[in-house]
Structure 1
Amino acid sequence: MRIPGRPAAVLVSCAALAALCGCTVQPQGADGKGRSPVHVELPSSRAPDPTRTAEDGSGGSGTASGTSAAKPAQPMQPMQPTQPAPAVLWSRGDSGPGVRELQARLRQVAWLFDGPTGSYDDLTEQAVKGFQGKRGLPPTGETDTVTWRRLQAMTHRPGTWELYLMGGQPAAAPDPRCLTGRVLCISKNSRTLRWMVDGRTVSTMSVRFGSQYTPTREGVFHVYWKSRHHVSTLYHSPMPYAMFFSGGQAVHYSYDFAARGYAGGSHGCVNVRDETAIAQLFAQVRNGDKVVVYW
């Protein structure tokens, strides 16, 4: 049985209760069928935290909760053109006046302590490598155009005395006895050895001789024995690439000469400081070739 006035009051109360509970009310149409529900969102009772940003997915402006804001695209870096490698001027095994000047300049900046020889040996290679590494250049040990310009900027043009310091002078004029045949032509005055064939100089290298009490003999001799890995039986010191010409005296490579230069002396032998040069000489000289030692 329907009571007048009560249904309207009940409906109003229910509608108010639904609004407070966050529910939805489904109105009835004239035909009594339900329509699509209307969703009602209640405002949040907590104010947003201005210290939290959209990037951490916890509020703020611009993004929904739990998602990160899109980062701006980074500008593309322009491609750098490939620089060609600097040209190599001199490297180990080379020789000539350019190498001699290089060595003299390395002495000026205290990277080489021996006198210039004109031959790019292991000491020169190590000096160039040290110079390069100190200045942030690739430590190749080869003298390229960049290394050479840097060294020139730090040094002065060496004079004759600097270029031929410590006995590295140009070879003296050959003795007349050196002008025929195959000859090791050795000058005590210029402290040099010429390897000559039929009056033509094939190669030249710096040498040192015996001390006052063990002098190197002068005269004309012949190579009578070659010993590649010789060790002195008297002094127990290595004598690589030994070419004996008078008793126990020989032309050979000297580790001491390479390290100390003319600060030392031999026990009568003719010492060579350039290992590359004497290795090539050892391969060419034959037993019976002439040796001329003169002042």
Structure 2
Amino acid sequence: MSQKLPAEVEARLAAHYQAIFTPEDASHDAAGLIAHAANCDGMLVTPADRLTQGVIEQLPETVRIIATFSVGYDHIDVAAAKRRGITVTNTPDVLTDATADIAMLLILGAARGAFWGERMVREQRWSRWAPTKPLGTHVTGKRLGILGMGRIGQAVARRARAFDMEIHYHNRTRLAYELENGAHFHSVLDHMLPHCDFLSINCASTPETRNAINAQTISLLPDGAIIVNTARGDIIDDDALIAALKSGKLAAAGLDVFRGEPNIDPRYRELGNVFLLPHLGSATLETRNAMGHRAVDNLDQFFRGERPRDILTN
């Protein structure tokens, strides 16, 4: 294991494997990952571990499977693993609801100024109630655009409907009619953006989606729109988002993921209209346990000679 995992998951691993654990708060750089895998048949890694082509090419010959404790796998060069005959698996399904909850938290927190409101109270700067300030943005009845209508995107849409939001979405393929539930499909991202008072990013990080939210696409949003991101940080061009937040083109943003996290662009910390969270999308005890068990299920299936349920290296 490259990181400390929930106790319930580690207990299961200890009972069934010759497990090599990582102490609390420890992590591994590239050289550390390679050394840690010495004589191991498998690795259980996390999004904090960068398994680049160079790392995978230097892994011990004994390694036959890499199970990632995440649904996203942009931190692993899957093609390089496949070339070496190493199976890669992930953990879909189990973090859908937790991540969708955080997306709604970001929508509400960014729109209603939860960040500056909490700061006013905590720093004793709340002197009186006033009719005109501070003011946020109404959520109920607004138009929500969803970039990426997979499991998580659909779960966000279900939650947003409780706020009577009008749902628009852009996806590689259109959903079946019964799954749309009245949502408006846009085959081209640029065509959806003018209809988005709020934009929720829920797509995977791929060569096609990286920097999809940039100066040009932001310019297509209505003035005063709000962007939230629970997917991956590299889908947003930081320079473009920060410029739009400073200029007033965007009213606010809510971000749970960042390019280069945890070393985020320091300019975000200086902005009063950004609601920032430290990648809490799946951070509930129930979800992290479920993710761990799903990863171990994949290991169990592989070492029994079966095809893992969540194999990525087809």
Give your verdict on TM over 0.5.
Answer: no
The TM-score, its normalising length taken from structure 2, stands at 0.24
**Larger strand share, 1 or 2:** 1
**Larger helix share, 1 or 2:** 2
> Which structure would you say has the larger Rg?
1
